[in-house]
């Protein structure tokens, strides 16, 4: 089975530039219409993603499945890309973004120790950038751990719209210790450090956890990092509801009990913590099945050539 990182990026520079121009100069309404043939095109040419979408919608018993469901799924992803352009160009007022669970996050940040925000490829992760710009002062310092070379064309397009993004990024292509150092410094300064925690690299340490009725591998690095620094952890979901509306949900994910003394017990507790993340991810994914933007077989145990059942790998990179 090919790894998700081996899939070629969709689109090309000209197509993305045209979409950006349409969004910023003609408007979101026209861009929405423009995304219909775009979604149909990707449905026709991206067989791996099409089949993965069909399987996912069947597994979660989505309201619309088959051809219509897959088109809806791809179209939803396309619309969130449109909205990312608006968000980064400072036109977030054209969208209705409602944050939930903010009070508890603010209370933690006021203690000055920062917080780790764990996101996923469910909905729009970009919504947290807008939140940090308009939130109370405690929530305005944000660093995002991300791989700038993954989906590089889209990343370049978004950075051209808002070059300040580069200053908020901790590059996940760096060696693991450097990522940890930069994230640790940001947390010490009281910042929110956000990262995606639902995909593994080929050799990254992972654990199999229950997810949507099957077993799925999830990385342990994000929560291992939180445990090592004793950092407060919140989950964040930017869920697209249609008609320009987003729910930006913050949920605390407390550590399951005090830190054990033995290494084996610490690893067992860490695995339990990862499983708790998976449980909340599944809960929201079932509510918003078309927001699921992992267009590959997420539950497959063999996502890499050297994958083994159970716990695997040592690479601590986080995308």
Tens of pLDDT, residue by residue over 306-315, are 333 344 443 3
Query: In this predicted structure, what is the pLDDT of residue 149?
Result: 63
Lowest mean pLDDT across 153-157, 195-199, 217-221: 153-157
Per DSSP, the three-state class of 312 is strand
Confidence class for position 27, pLDDT limits 50, 70, 90 = confident
* Global confidence as pTM: 0.85
Average pLDDT over residues 64-87: 93
Query: In this predicted structure, what is the pLDDT of residue 11?
Result: 53
Lowest mean pLDDT across 190-199, 222-231, 299-308: 299-308
Confidence class for position 268, pLDDT limits 50, 70, 90 = very high
Query: In this predicted structure, what is the pLDDT of residue 279?
Result: 97
Query: In this predicted structure, what is the pLDDT of residue 312?
Result: 43
Length of the chain (residues): 319
Cβ-contact 211, 313 below 8 angstroms: no
Cβ-contact 4, 296 below 8 angstroms: yes
**Span 2-23, pLDDT tens digits:** 443 545 545 567 777 787 888 8
Q: Which two tokens stand for residue 29?
A: 């309404």
Which residue has better confidence, 139 or 106?
A: 106
- The residues facing 235 across adjacent strands are 118, 251
Report, in this order, helix, strand and coil percent for the chain, each rounded to 5.
50, 20, 30
Which residue has better confidence, 41 or 147?
A: 41
Closest Cα to residue 125, out of 198, 22, 16, 27? 198
Confidence class for position 302, pLDDT limits 50, 70, 90 = very low
Confidence class for position 158, pLDDT limits 50, 70, 90 = low
- Average pLDDT over the chain reads 84
């Amino acid at each position: 089975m090919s790894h998700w990182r081996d899939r070629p990026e969709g689109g090309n520079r000209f197509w993305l530039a045209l979409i950006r121009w349409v969004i910023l100069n003609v408007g979101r309404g026209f861009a929405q219409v423009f995304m219909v043939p775009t979604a149909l095109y990707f449905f026709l040419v991206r067989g791996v993603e099409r089949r993965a979408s069909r399987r996912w919608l069947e597994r979660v018993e989505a309201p619309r499945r088959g051809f219509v469901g897959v088109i809806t799924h791809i179209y939803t992803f396309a619309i969130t890309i449109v909205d990312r352009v608006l968000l980064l160009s400072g036109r977030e007022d054209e969208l209705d973004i409602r944050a939930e669970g903010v009070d508890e996050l603010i209370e933690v940040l006021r203690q000055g120790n920062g917080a780790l925000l764990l996101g996923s490829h469910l909905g729009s992760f970009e919504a947290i950038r807008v939140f940090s710009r308009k939130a109370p002062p405690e929530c305005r310092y944000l660093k995002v751990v991300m791989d700038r070379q993954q989906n590089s064309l889209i990343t370049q397009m978004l950075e051209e719209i808002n070059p300040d993004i580069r200053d908020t990024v901790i590059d996940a292509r760096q060696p693991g210790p450097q990522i940890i150092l930069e994230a640790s410094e940001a947390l010490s300064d009281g910042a929110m450090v956000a990262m995606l925690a639902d995909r593994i690299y080929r050799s990254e340490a992972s654990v199999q956890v229950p997810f949507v009725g099957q077993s799925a591998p999830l990385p342990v690095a994000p929560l291992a990092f939180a445990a090592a620094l004793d950092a407060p952890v919140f989950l964040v979901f930017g869920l697209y509801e249609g008609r320009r509306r987003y729910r930006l949900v913050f949920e605390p994910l407390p550590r399951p009990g005090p830190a054990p003394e033995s290494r084996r017990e610490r690893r067992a507790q860490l695995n339990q913590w990862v499983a708790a993340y998976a449980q909340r991810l599944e809960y929201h994914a079932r509510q918003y099945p078309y927001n699921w933007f992992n267009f590959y077989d997420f539950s497959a145990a063999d996502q890499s050539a050297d994958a083994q059942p159970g716990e695997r790998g040592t690479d601590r990179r986080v995308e």
